[in-house]
Every structure is written in C-alpha cells, then in structure tokens.
Structure 1
Amino acid sequence: MKKWLTTIAASSALVVGLTACGTGGDGNGASGEDKKIIVGASNVPHAEILEEAQPLLEEKGIEMEIKPFQDYIFPNKALADGEIDANYFQHVPYLEAQMKENNYDFVNAGGIHIEPIGVYSSKHKSLEDLPEGGTVIMSNSVADHGRILSMLEEKGVIKLKEGVDKTKATVDDIAENPKNLNFKADVEAGLLPQAYQNNEGDAILINANYALDADLDPAKDPIAVESAEDNPYVNVIATRKGDEEREEIKALVEVLNSKEIQEFIKEEYKGAVLPASK
C-alpha cells in the first residue's frame, strides 16, 4: 500500500510539472501571465481607444486589462512600481520631462495619436478679440507650457525669444506680448473645462482629452486649434525599458496603429483626436 501511494504521488508530481511547463514556454501558448497585460490610461480618449482594441488583441491571444487614471502623475508611478505593464495617456515631451524629473527608466514603445489643443473662450469669438491685459489660463503642467506658447506664437498672439527650444518654452521666454496678456498657469489640467464653464479668464487652453471628458467638442467649441502638422506632441504607449520588446507590447502598438483603430479614431472623434500614423 505504501509503495502504491508513493507511485501515485510521483505520477501526480510529474503531471503537475508537465502542466506548469506547458503554460509558459515561448509565448505561443493559449494562456499564462505572459499573455496578459495591464495598461493604465486616461478615460477619454485613451481608455476608449484601448477598449476598441481589446477584441483585436484577443484575436492574437492577448488579454488586456485597462486601468483608468484621472490624473497625469499616478500612471507613471504605477508603471515604475510594476502595477501596470504600460500606460497610454501622455505625449512625448511630458514623458521625457517625467523621466528626467523622477529618474524613470521608461521608453516610448510607439506613437498612437495626437490631440490638438484648443483655445476656449466664453467671452470672445476669436484670438483677435482678446482684450488688452486679458487673462489666459493654462495647465499647471510645465511640460504643456511650451506647446501652448508655441501655438499662441503660431497664431500671432505672442512672439518667443529667438533660439528658444519651443517644446521647453516658459512664460519667461515671451519676447513680445502686444496685448500685455496675463498668463495664469496654476490650474490642474483636469479642472480647465470647469474654469471655462465658470466663465473664468478671457481664454483657456484645454487638452482635447479633458475637453472630451467634460462633453465639450474640441472640433467645434474652441476659438482656435493647434495645428496637427509636424506636431511633436504625439500620445504614446510608455513602458519600462526592455519591455518594449515583449510580444504583448509590440502587439498592442501594432493593433493601435492598425487601419481598424485609425478609422475608429477618425470617425469617433471627428478631428478632435487624430491618428499619428498616416
């Protein structure tokens, strides 16, 4: 009897061992941790785009869990802490600034879309109508300041100093300000739509994702919109260095740049969000 039980135990251990070997392997199996990824994202449009991509990833045998975030800080902290495998919420200059500031060892795994930033005003119908000494409200995210100021320069509202890196420009880099506009840069990006709806300031610069989340129409409501041509502010999939070579991350970027997802972005957001791929 003792010998028989020993044989059964040994056989069971062998079966368990073979089963364990079968769930890992080269990543071509049907299941296992290697075939699931957790991606952090802003609610709109990032999480919506990821939801559209889920069935396409499932066809490749990859399960994706989407973890929503409401701000710009915690998605990178979660990625650094290993709570998520990638995030999708930020553009390249912001990613680079966060990596430098926090010593994050991240990489840009691929660009997905562009959200042209808009100028909103409940008081004026054009930038030309902005009054002398008017107030311009923008995000407290320093990484967005260069983008906003570059846009205002492009529209002829201000002029920046010669030779300044426009992606890193600050209010101190303004060389000409004909209307003596006052720039208020102490509002969290997610609260900018509320400031607009409360009729604050003369002009408010709002990122398209927050505008969409507040039921604004970034294609119609702004009095001016940032040009998408040669725009460096591409929203990307960010991951920890080395993980960009993972099959799951490569598949995610491939799917998000597929014709199906590009068409979804164009049709769903009608110019408020533009696919980065052409």
Structure 2
Amino acid sequence: MTKPDRPDNPEPLMITAKSISEAYSRTLLHIMEHPGNEIAPLVLTIDGFGEGYDVPEDPRVRTALDALLGSKKKRDVEDVAHTIFPQRFWTMAQGDRAKLFEFYKMAFPFYRARNPKANGKGLYFERLMMYGRGPCDGNQLEWILSQYDSRPGVRRSMWQATTFDPARDHSATAQLGFPCLQHVSFVPTKAGLVANAFYATQQLFDKAYGNYLGLAQLAAFMAHEMGIPLTRLNVTIGVAKLERISKTDSAMKPLIEAARACVAPPAPATQRPSPSLRLAAQRA
C-alpha cells in the first residue's frame, strides 16, 4: 500500500495575527515558501478587533484577492463571507436581530434556486438559524442569545452551534463542497467574546479569506447582541489546501506582493534631531 506523500504526524502550524488580512497573508506566504500545497493542521488566532464591532482589513490584500478571484471566475470575498454571515442584511436590520433573521428567511429560497448545485444542501448561516430541528425552531443563534440573556452563570458548553448534520451530510459522494465548516462556539470572557470555529478542510485560494471575514462578522454580531466586545477569533482547520490555482501562476504576483506588504514590520519612524541639536549644528 502506497503511503501518502505527507508527514504521518504533522505538527500544527500556529499563526497569530492582528487582522483577518494578516492571518490570510501569513497562511498564503507559508504555502508559497514551503513545498507542497497543504497545511495540516492549521490553527489561526486573530485579535485586534475594535470596540465598534467592525472587522479591520488591509485593503491592499482584499483588493488584490478580489481582482484575482474575478479573473479566475470565482466568487468574490463578500459573496463567500455572506454564506456565513449576511452582513448587508444586518446593516439593513439596523440592530434588530429579529429583522435580520426575517430578511434571511425571505432570501434563502432565492439563494437555493439561483444555484441549486452549490446551495442545494444549504448554506452556513441557514444551518445556524434554520437547522431544521431544536429549540427556537432550529435557530441556534437565537437560542444561544436568549439563554445568555436569561440568567448569569450558564454553562459555557451551551454557547455552540453546528452546521454539520450526519443525517444530511454523511454521504459516499467523492466530492462535496458543503459543509466544510463543522461548528462554531462562543466563549464570553472578562475581556470580551472569544469565537472558535472548526473546519475539516478549507480551500485557501477561493474560500479562506471570505471564510475568515464571515466568521469575524458572525462573531461581531454575537458580541454585539451579548453586549460585550469581540476580543478574539480562533479558527482550526484540519487540512488547508491551495487548489484551483497554481503556485507558479503569474496572476498570483499582485496578491503575493500585497501579502508581503501586509506582514512586513512597520518602518522605524525617522527621529528628528532636537531643537538644541539643530541650533548647535547651525552655529557650527
């Protein structure tokens, strides 16, 4: 029996970042600078979130990636993020989560009909709030928030939601595009909310950045509804793969340059001489 061309017991790669752009950039550069096209497993931990529930990004990385995705006829970052959290619906709802859920219920049949091949089994946010069974009519997010608001000291294992459903998703089909995200959990701490997500596999080129953005937006929504800051997002990926584009593709160059600029240490500030030193120099 031929052994797979990978380490039998690989150590996790841990990436610490201050933004989703930095996390994506460090992951991409690691792939580009090492043999192969997989990282298994990959663990990301991201902080640096502000108090206003906005998700900071590096526009250079986002712009370069969206341009590359467009040239390869792939969905842009916002479209991928929308599968995990519909940020534009949350903006339309103006802070009313009941309206957010209502907007999504109205829109989901359209998403499924528009792309039955990709969305026929569902979407991540649909599984989180329309799972099909359970309390709150299967709305796992509403259940978590309602229990968080109900009383203090509730067990922390209650704050988790699943997207994988064995009844629907255990299949012998060779390739399935959904669901790769298995579950999410939310941990309120004294510093704020820590969100955790687990992927069995993840496509680094056309999905990863949108995944990170959608997860951060979901976590920011939950933190907002809990009335606490978002302090950290952790993402564990069993196998992260760079597929559907070659590492040697020349079209990757602008994205690689943007990624390197994103992770480069800030240039040291030029120190101006003090007034007394300038005066001394003029007298000399």
Q: When the two structures are superposed, what TM-score results if normalisation uses the length of structure 1?
A: 0.25
Q: When the two structures are superposed, what TM-score results if normalisation uses the length of structure 2?
A: 0.25
Which one has the largest radius of gyration? 1
Higher strand share: 1
